[in-house]
Amino acid sequence: MSSTFRSLRYRNARLFFAGLAVSNVGTWLQLTAMSLLVYQLTGEASAVGISVACQFVPMLVLGAWAGAVADAHDKRRMAILTQSGLAVQALLLGSLDLSGAINLPLIYVMSFVVGVVNAFDNPARRGLVTELVDHDDIPNATSLNTAVMTGSRIFGPALAALFVATIGTGWCFLINGLTFFAIIFSLTAIRPDEMFRMPRRPRGGQPVREALRFVIGRRDMLLVYVTMVIVSTFAFNQTVVLPKLADERWGGDSAFGVVLAVTSIGSLTGSLLTARHQRVSMRWFLGNIVVLSISGFGLAWAPSIWIAFAWSIPFGLGGAGFITSANAITQQESPSDMRSRLMALQAVAFLGSTPIGGPITGFIADGISAEWALAYGSVISLLCVVGATLYWTATPHPVSPSP
């Protein structure tokens, strides 16, 4: 089997990724429809930013503790519970929308609810991936996990662009609710006796502080996490700014879903390229940020939808390569009984920064320009790469721990 897809030789991994692919098409369908719904109700990118912030505030507050919970419990059972909760939320949201009861405050509340569930689902689901394959294949499995999630963006946003214009946002939410049954079925069909279970964290102690001490004590991990906070805060707010940018430059807000779908073609490519690496290097991690930043400038000032498509490919490639590299480095360098906590801290760095960056990006789009709302993140990211490179070359490289 190709080195890119070597994790698929495990039956449990094949089951999991198949269910995840179907479910995440629905997830991106809902996320895109939600941004379009808020923008259609208000016409303001700042309102979209607030909606996104409501969804990710729980990750910022609860993420690290949720990782400690996942390290101490059965991750498969925990993921079944959280995925079921997300299904209920989507079906309820769709019912409210179709009944005409939906409004902006209610959207904020429902976004917060899904954020709470996601705070616990993220470390459980991502930690489970590492138990589906042997230790040597963990970096590949985490890269394929990201590839499946980014690849589903090719279809989810494009379907949202079609469905919102024809059947409305409410049906998008209901369809998403139904797609969760695919991942729930996959999780229940996994054979526990074929899993590569990691030792659970002992009860008690200081689990979050232990994980923080590990990150601070490792120069490579500290560099990855600090870089993730900075880049994610300012350069990963596409769902906030692209609806306004599409409305002003590319012929209407419905173009948002199509541009996001094309971006995902690049995202899938970036994830698969990272999956080919047996071990992911810091050079690859930082290089993808450069690709993301440069293409962000081009996308911001793309004069037509076709030029936007051209810039969207490297924009998605760099973004997914950045995320996938961070995941792989975290997994390949972390102790086995700390993986969920470290992945939770990484989710806090990546997703927990959105409540800060989302509103900032929205206010820049409304107060300055939609172009600079996208491009300012590229400027900050390039400066971050310069600082990270100087730090990495000036310090001794750490020795990886034994698995």
pTM of the entire predicted model:
0.68
* Structural domain count, the chain: 1
Instruction: Flag whether 402 is in a domain.
Output: no
Residue in 52, 123, 117, 36 with CA at minimum distance from that of residue 356: 52
**Integer angstrom CA distances of residue 12 from 128, 331, 372:** 11, 19, 45
Q: Rounded distance, CA 114 to CA 239, Å?
A: 17
Instruction: Flag whether 400 is in a domain.
Output: no
Q: What is the mean pLDDT of residues 69-94?
A: 88
Instruction: Flag whether 57 is in a domain.
Output: yes
Residue in 231, 228, 76, 264 with CA at minimum distance from that of residue 154: 264
**Pair of tokens at residue 139:** 């970096």
State percent of the chain over pLDDT 90: 24
Higher pLDDT, 1 or 287: 287
Instruction: Flag whether 50 is in a domain.
Output: yes
**Residue 144 structural domain:** 7-394
**Integer angstrom CA distances of residue 136 from 130, 139, 275, 293, 312:** 10, 7, 13, 32, 33
With b for 16 or more beta-carbon neighbours within 10 A and e for fewer, the 351-389 pattern comes to bbbbbbbbbbbbbbbbeebbbbbbbbbbebbbebbeebe
Q: Rounded distance, CA 140 to CA 272, Å?
A: 9
CB 234 within 8 A of CB 240: no
Query: Which has the minimum average pLDDT: 141-145, 187-191, 291-295?
Result: 141-145
pLDDT number for residue 202: 54
Instruction: Flag whether 399 is in a domain.
Output: no
Model confidence band, residue 396 (pLDDT cutoffs 50, 70, 90) = low
**Pair of tokens at residue 310:** 């051209």
Q: State the CATH number of the domain containing residue 38.
A: 1.20.1250.20
CB 342 within 8 A of CB 330: yes
User: Which SS3 state, helix, strand or coil, does residue 277 take?
Assistant: coil
